[in-house]
């Protein structure tokens, strides 16, 4: 997820762009840049890090332009460096482009363009757009050139482009990555979302997929890529700036929960090979031969990321037949882990900066193990220091409580289980079955999200209980722990997750009518066993919420409340099951009026040991 802002009008363009970028900083800020046109010449400036660095770079430069485009980057391909920051320029410097999204066929396009003599300065997928547009720019018609270029592109984009000899217009196009036009008085704006332009105008036009806009200071026209005119509707925005950054939701946590269908698409994009019943993970290609030889994986992580790792353990053991252990990163270095050339150490971390996980990876490296990462933040320390790895592509996670990063970690762990499994004994049919099921997950999550109001009512009913127990078996045991962690960290209600079968060995003593239990019992291979544990709780007058598979009417007969999720493969159940648990915790905390996005005593990235 990156942020785009474009401006054409009567104001100072660079100041307007900087203001807009600052309001999009929540979309990611590993680097930023602007390009303006003045006196028939494009000038571009870029800086690594927060937007303040770009502001410092521009101060005193007095570019004083009236048209420009800009970008704040959340890296997906290539490290967060100045070369990889946007805008990207054509070889002759006459065109500048900023892009949000992922160009899936960028490697093929890049090779073809190189053969035609184009020189690439960055490692990004986005730079191909600048060169591709240059190829079609011989008639000096920027919109035509952008249309022709985009016809060759596979993947997603929100782009804006400017050219030195069309110094009064910005071209903007969208497929999969949002763009909105802001309609002003003798000035117009383009941005990834309304937060960037709310300070200037409330009148907007949302671009739809497949649409392209030519925007000048006093006009705009929208067509498809074949130049067919599209009638558009002007909407009026009545959000405050803060509301708009949260996409109209009350908290970032809710926004991030709601984003999960999109996150699954992004974390699998270009990686699924259903025909061959396998996956392509570019970040592991260099170590594929080594991966064939490993016999053991140690997963190291903390908190929510560790629960994802525990679910990954079940997946890899069942489908890749590799022995897996999951360690608390904070404990790893105090043990004497037995590592050899047949062991890989895999760090799972949203931020890629967690001190304990980093220390564990360094220790594993020192002992000569192959180190791997599943990391969300591109270019973070863990991503840089591991031998190889896979990015989640979940986009920036702002709320302290991790939600969409967890689901994307589970998706990537599934992909790794398929990759490792197919290197070993997993059949093509099994691989294909898993991939086909992964492809259905976004729709299934959307369905769960539609029942958010029901979970909200349930949250109200249970908000005043001081304790909660979460139970699950097999794939849903770590999920029970994650459900309990979500609840305790944002609502401050004491909650614990247990393996359902373990409860009778002590913890069941806690149960009475004031200690509700959240039992995660999908219709899977351990369903009957779960029901036996639920009966044990009922016998002690415990209150029960059951999370189970659609169509399981039996649950309604025994539980106080039932939440349904769609059917899926047992290994993928946590990806669906976590969504109601996140919503339940979220609504309880918001009923209590707590600071959901910034719970007390916690930090988003724990960089101390
Ligand atoms: C809980 C949560 C934490 C993190 C943990 C690891 O909602 O967010 O438990 O999962 O601090 O952080 P990363 O994944 O950044 O290493």
Summarised one tens digit per residue, pLDDT across range 501-543 is 998 899 889 988 899 999 999 999 999 999 999 988 888 888 9
pLDDT of 260 > 70? The answer is: yes
Annotated active-site residue 2? The verdict is: yes
Q: Which of 2, 147, 302, 476 is catalytic?
A: 2
The answer to whether 496 touches 507, Cβ cutoff 8 Å, is yes
Token pair for 221: 């026209």
For the CA of 351, the closest atom of ligand 1 is 15
The pLDDT tens digits for 483-495 are: 999 999 999 999 9
Percent of the chain at pLDDT > 70 equals 99
pLDDT, residue 540, reads 84
Instruction: Say if strands 170-175 and 157-163 run parallel, antiparallel, or are unpaired.
Output: antiparallel
Would the CB of 381 count as within 6 Å of ligand 1?
no
Domain-by-domain residue ranges, the chain? 3-237, 252-449, 452-591
Q: Which of 11, 342, 488, 604 is catalytic?
A: 604
CA distance readout (Å), 345 to 370, 379, 407, 595: 6, 19, 21, 36
CATH of domain 452-591: 3.40.50.10490
CA distance readout (Å), 581 to 261, 305, 524: 16, 16, 19
**Which superfamily, per CATH, for 3-237?**
Aminohydrolase, N-terminal nucleophile (Ntn) domain (3.60.20.10)
| Probe target for ligand 1 pocket from 253, 305, 347, 382, with the most ligand atoms within 8 Å of CB | 305
pLDDT winner (highest mean) among 129-133, 136-140, 505-509: 129-133
Token pair for 505: 């060995």
Phi-psi region of 231 (alpha: psi -120 to 50; beta: other; left: phi over 0): beta
- Phi then psi dihedrals of residue 535, to 5 deg: -60, -40
Q: Could you give the angle at the alpha carbon of 260 between the alpha carbons of 255 and 261, nearest 5°?
A: 125
Annotated active-site residue 476? The verdict is: no
The answer to whether 312 touches 417, Cβ cutoff 8 Å, is yes
Would the CB of 481 count as within 6 Å of ligand 1?
no
Distance 408 CA to ligand 1 centre (A): 13
For the CA of 305, the closest atom of ligand 1 is 10
How far, in Å, CA of 522 to CA of 525, rounded? 9
Phi-psi region of 274 (alpha: psi -120 to 50; beta: other; left: phi over 0): alpha
Same CATH fold assignment for domains 252-449 and 452-591: yes
Per-residue confidence at 1, pLDDT binned at 50, 70, 90?
low
The pLDDT tens digits for 244-255 are: 788 889 999 999
Please tell me what DSSP assigns to residue 352.
Answer: S
Distance 398 CA to ligand 1 centre (A): 12
Q: Supply the residue whose CA is at minimum distance from atom 8 of ligand 1.
A: 402
CATH of domain 252-449: 3.40.50.10490
pTM score, whole prediction: 0.83
How far, in Å, CA of 192 to CA of 174, rounded? 10
How far, in Å, CA of 580 to CA of 257, rounded? 10
Per-residue confidence at 198, pLDDT binned at 50, 70, 90?
confident
Would the CB of 235 count as within 6 Å of ligand 1?
no
Q: SS3 of 68, please? A: strand
Q: SS3 of 166, please? A: coil
Would the CB of 548 count as within 6 Å of ligand 1?
no
Would the CB of 401 count as within 6 Å of ligand 1?
yes
Looking at residues 335-358, what average pLDDT do you find? 92
Would the CB of 402 count as within 6 Å of ligand 1?
yes
How far, in Å, CA of 485 to CA of 559, rounded? 23
Token pair for 184: 């002003």
């Amino acid at each position: 997820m990156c942020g785009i802002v474009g401006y054409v009008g009567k104001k100072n363009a660079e100041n307007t762009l900087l203001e807009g970028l600052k309001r999009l900083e929540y979309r990611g800020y590993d680097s930023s840049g602007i390009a303006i046109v003045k006196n028939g010449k494009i000038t571009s400036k870029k800086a690594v890090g927060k937007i303040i660095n770009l502001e410092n770079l521009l101060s005193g430069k007095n570019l004083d332009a009236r048209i420009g485009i800009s970008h704040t980057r959340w890296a997906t391909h290539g490290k967060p460096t100045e070369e990889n920051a946007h805008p990207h320029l054509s070889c002759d410097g006459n065109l500048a482009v900023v892009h949000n999204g992922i160009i899936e066929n960028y490697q093929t396009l890049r090779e073809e363009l190189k053969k035609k003599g184009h020189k690439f300065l960055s490692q990004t997928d986005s730079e191909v757009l600048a060169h591709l547009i240059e190829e079609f720019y011989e008639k000096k018609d920027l919109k035509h050139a952008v249309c022709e270029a985009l016809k060759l592109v596979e993947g997603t984009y929100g782009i804006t482009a400017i050219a030195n000899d069309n110094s009064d217009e910005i071209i903007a196009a969208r497929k999969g990555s949002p763009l909105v036009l802001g309609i002003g008085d003798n000035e117009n704006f383009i941005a990834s979302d309304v937060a960037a332009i709310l300070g200037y105008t409330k009148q907007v036009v949302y671009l739809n997929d497949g649409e392209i806009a030519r925007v000048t200071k006093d006009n705009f026209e929208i067509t498809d890529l074949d130049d067919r005119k599209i009638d558009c509707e002007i909407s009026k925005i009545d959000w405050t700036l803060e509301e708009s950054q949260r996409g109209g939701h009350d908290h970032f946590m809710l926004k991030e929960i709601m984003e999960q269908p999109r996150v699954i698409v992004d974390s699998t994009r270009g990686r699924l090979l259903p025909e061959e019943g396998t996956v392509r993970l570019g970040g592991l290609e260099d170590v594929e031969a080594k991966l064939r030889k490993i016999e053991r994986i140690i997963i190291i992580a903390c908190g929510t990321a560790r629960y994802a790792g525990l679910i990954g353990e079940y997946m890899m053991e069942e489908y890749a037949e590799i022995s897996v252990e999951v360690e608390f990163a904070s404990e790893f270095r105090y043990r004497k882990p037995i590592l050899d050339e047949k062991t890989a150490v895999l760090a799972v971390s949203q931020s890629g900066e967690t001190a304990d996980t980093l220390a564990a990876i360094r220790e594993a490296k020192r002992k000569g193990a192959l180190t791997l990462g599943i990391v969300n933040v591109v270019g973070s320390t863990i991503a840089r220091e591991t031998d190889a790895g896979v990015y989640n592509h979940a986009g920036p996670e702002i709320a302290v409580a991790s939600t969409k990063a967890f689901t994307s970690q589970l998706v990537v762990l599934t992909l790794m289980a398929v990759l490792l499994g197919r290197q070993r004994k997993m059949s093509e049919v099994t691989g294909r079955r898993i991939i086909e099921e992964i492809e259905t997950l976004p729709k299934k999550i959307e369905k769960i999200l539609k029942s958010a109001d029901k979970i909200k009512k349930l949250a109200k009913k249970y908000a005043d209980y001081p304790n909660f127990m979460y139970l699950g078996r097999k794939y849903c045991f770590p999920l029970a722990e994650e459900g309990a962690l979500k609840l305790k960290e944002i609502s401050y209600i004491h909650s614990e997750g247990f393996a359902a079968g373990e409860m009778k060995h002590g913890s069941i003593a806690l149960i009475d009518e004031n200690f509700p239990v959240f039992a995660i019992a999908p219709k899977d291979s351990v369903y009957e066993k779960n029901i036996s544990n639920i009966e044990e709780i009922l016998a002690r007058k415990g209150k029960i919420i059951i999370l189970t598979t659609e169509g399981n009417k039996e649950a309604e007969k025994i539980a106080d409340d039932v939440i349904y999720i769609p059917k899926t493969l047992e290994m993928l159940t946590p990806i669906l099951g976590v969504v109601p648990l996140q919503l339940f915790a979220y609504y309880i905390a918001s009923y209590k009026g707590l600071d959901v996005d910034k719970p007390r005593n916690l930090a988003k990235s724990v960089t101390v040991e």
